Amino acid sequence: MITLYQFHRLWGLPNASPFCMKLETYLRMAKLSYKVRYINNPRQAPKGKLPYIKIEDSLYADSELIIDELKKRFGDSLDEELTPEQKALGHLIETTFNEQMYWIIVYLRWQDKAGWKVVKEDFFAKLPTFPKLFVPYLVRKQMLEALTAQGMGRHTKEEIIYIGQKTLESMAELLGEHLYFLGDKPTTVDATAFAFLANILFPPIKSPLQEYLQTKEHLTAYCERMKSAFYADSK
């Protein structure tokens, strides 16, 4: 049995962490049995980040490495029909979401004032009164330092929205009229794409990027399609 350790659910999403949602979506797509353990403190994780999984007595961290390990153990039914070129394209799409869009989401949630107002209220709602006075601000400080170190936090909001819109436009072009990113069947890349797009489209954090995504009918229909296909039990 696979045990998935991840953040608690929030905002009606499978998970407000794109990486946790990506991994759980993959597990569902690959039809792998698993159970969930919800934790809020990433420091409990092997690499200090969520998600991670436990198989028998072994722990595995990092969503990308975990998925690779799952493929080695249980096979790769989702991608077995893909060409090497399609697999390469899928990897580049995943990398764009993981390494660029992630930091845009972090900026809109933790540095932008409108997003921070929602995050502060919802992410820390279950904290006792005294820790709630300082813990949110300590976590925010860490996130802002990470944004600055990575580089995204050095841009203006207008520049970040511009970068995000360029990426969404490219993703819309890649998806085109297809049902999924690499054709008419869902593959591994769709676990990543859905997790990140849904974490822009569905949260109660209004932003120009969310508004822009809402104008991309094929991308929004794609998110609804993935949600219906793999999270029908969450309605």
Domain boundary at 56, 74, 92, which? 74
Closest to 7 in 3D by CA, of 178, 195, 204, 177:
195
pLDDT at residue 235, as a whole number: 55
As for how many domains the chain has, the answer is 2
Give the model confidence (pLDDT) of 25-65 as tens digits. 999 999 999 999 999 888 889 999 999 999 999 999 999 99
Is pLDDT of 234 > 90? no
Residues 6+ apart with CB under 8 A from 198: 13, 14, 21, 223, 226, 227
Same structural domain for residues 142 and 219? yes
Q: Is residue 79 part of a domain?
A: no
Tell me the whole-structure pTM to 2 decimals. Answer: 0.96
* Better-predicted residue by pLDDT, 184 or 41: 184
CATH number for the domain that contains residue 26: 3.40.30.10
**pLDDT, tens digit, 9 for 90 and up, residues 87-116:** 999 999 999 999 999 999 999 999 999 999
- Are 205 and 128 part of one and the same domain? yes
